[in-house]
Amino acid sequence: MSKPLVEKIAFIGSGELAESLLKGFLDKKFISADHVWMNNHSNKERLAQLEHEFHVHTTQSKELALKNADIVIFAFRPADTRNAVEEMKAFLRPDQLIISLMVGVPTAFIQSASGIDLAVVRAMPNTSASIGLSATGLAAGASVSGAQLELAKQLFETVGTVTIVQENEIDVIAGLAGSGPAYLYYLAQAMQEAGVREGISEESAAQLVLQTLLGASHLLNQSGKSASDLLKAVATPGGTTQAGIDTLDNQSVKQAVIDCVHHAIVRAKEMSAPFA
């Protein structure tokens, strides 16, 4: 499929996730830096850093950022939504594709706050977008056309995989994939600390854990086998791996992970309450 013609992308908000997406879009050449505008309302130093590192346009003027933008990415705090949208509504257009990264903010609320029949797609990527390996969920609002959803899909496929869901399922994506990298970082940290406690250097532990997680994820992706199948193959009865797995089972770690994801999803749903 040919790359869509996008003349301008505007980021409203310039935090870590916005930077991860920006880096991914530029690295995969979806758009060139001189066609990207980054905006935030108060942090001039942050904008200067982004301009220096990525050579994009930066501005504190929402009007300037939004002017002639084909795609507008809302990347500000959910709590700022009402004020930000009301501030922007004079500069937004129905033909623009609005992509909202904000957890808990329904597309209907954005439309209502703007007073415009905006085409809003909710996106839940994760910070692995910066290296082209995000797992992103997309959900289309009521006014999004098939072509616009396809454009959003093409955009996020440049930074990883895309799963299309209904809007009432997007909170699951937030808790599972959006927060998911942090769960693996948590596991990696624990494994590294275990290695150091057992007598190897911090550097060696970090290298071993990194390669172990990298290899396991690639094998899971490429072997065609399920996680359950691979676990059974490696955890032979009476062996070292089974001894470790028995400890995890005794500590109810699997249930803890399930609860971890569940509570992240519950929190995402709680965050939507002010916008009902």
One domain for residues 69 and 144: yes
At 186-199, the pLDDT tens digits run: 999 999 999 999 99
In terms of domains, do 19 and 122 share one?
yes
Q: What is the pLDDT of residue 46?
A: 95
Residue 84 scores a pLDDT above 90: yes
Give the DSSP H or E segment for 52. helix 44-54
Is residue 14 a known part of a binding site? Answer: yes
Q: Is 13 annotated as a binding residue?
A: yes
Tell whether residue 77 is among the known ligand binding residues: yes
What pLDDT does 4 receive?
Answer: 60
Q: What integer pLDDT is reported at residue 1 of this predicted model?
A: 47
Q: Listing from the earlier edge strand, what are the strands of the sheet with 36-39?
A: 57-59, 36-39, 9-12, 71-74, 97-100, 119-124, 134-140, 160-164
Q: Which two tokens stand for residue 110?
A: 């954005």
Query: Any known ligand binding at 21?
Result: no
What is the CATH classification number for the domain harbouring 220? 1.10.3730.10
Q: Count up the domains in the chain and report the number.
A: 2
163 and 38, same domain (yes or no): yes
130: in domain: yes
Are 233 and 199 contained in the same domain? yes
**CB neighbour list of residue 200: distance below 8 Å, 6 or more residues apart:** 208
Q: Is 12 annotated as a binding residue?
A: yes
Known binding residue 78? Answer is yes
Pairing mode, strands 134-140 and 119-124? antiparallel
Q: What confidence tens digit (pLDDT) does each residue in 130-176 have? A: 899 999 999 999 999 999 999 999 999 999 999 999 999 999 999 99
Reduced to 3 states (helix: H, G, I; strand: E, B; else coil), residue 9 is strand
